[in-house]
Structure 1
Amino acid sequence: MVKLLRYTEYVYLVVAVLSVYKIVALWSTEPKETYIFIFFAIVSLGMFFFRRKYRKKFEARSKNNDNR
């Protein structure tokens, strides 16, 4: 389960990187289309850090339960 959480973190990071790439590629030609990719990049980065914090909390809780 923890490995799955670790992989989903990085999926969000990949989406953020791809969104930033698309922002840079479209900025000079179609700036209005970049707003959706800016939104995706911000949400993806937020979800990456949220999932990371949640996974570490889950690992710590599992480790404490195993030590009992």
Structure 2
Amino acid sequence: MSYLKYTQYVYILFAVYFIYDGVTKLNENNEGYPLSFVIAGMAIFMFFFRRRFVKRFDDRNKKQ
């Protein structure tokens, strides 16, 4: 399960992309920019959630 340590960074990449997408849509006066920021916020939340989950999983394996 070592791949879980690295998949959490995919969420940060998604967040960066959707923040960039939201800013470009905001500058072009498109109406879809709030959705991009919401998805970026969810990706950041998932990054921290996954990081906490991986840490808890590692701590449980160390006790065994």
Q: Percent identity?
A: 34
Q: C-alpha separation between the residues in 1 aligned to 2:34 and 2:23? A: 11
CA distance in 2, matches of 1:28, 1:38: 14
* Counterpart for residue 19 of structure 2: 20
Gaps of 5+ in 2: none
Per the alignment, residue 6 of structure 1 pairs with 5
Partner of 1:64: 63
Give the letter for the 2:54 counterpart.
Answer: R
TM-superposed deviation, 1:36: 1.3
Task: Return 5+ residue gaps in structure 1 as ranges.
Answer: none
Deviation, structure 1 residue 13? 0.7
* Aligned residue in 1 for 2:29: 30
Q: Which runs of 4+ in 1 moved over 4 A?
A: none
* TM-score, length-scaled by structure 1: 0.85
Deviation at 1:8, TM superposition (A): 1.6
TM-score by length of 2: 0.90
Structure (1 or 2) with the larger CA radius of gyration: 1
RMSD between superposed Cα atoms in Å? 1.1
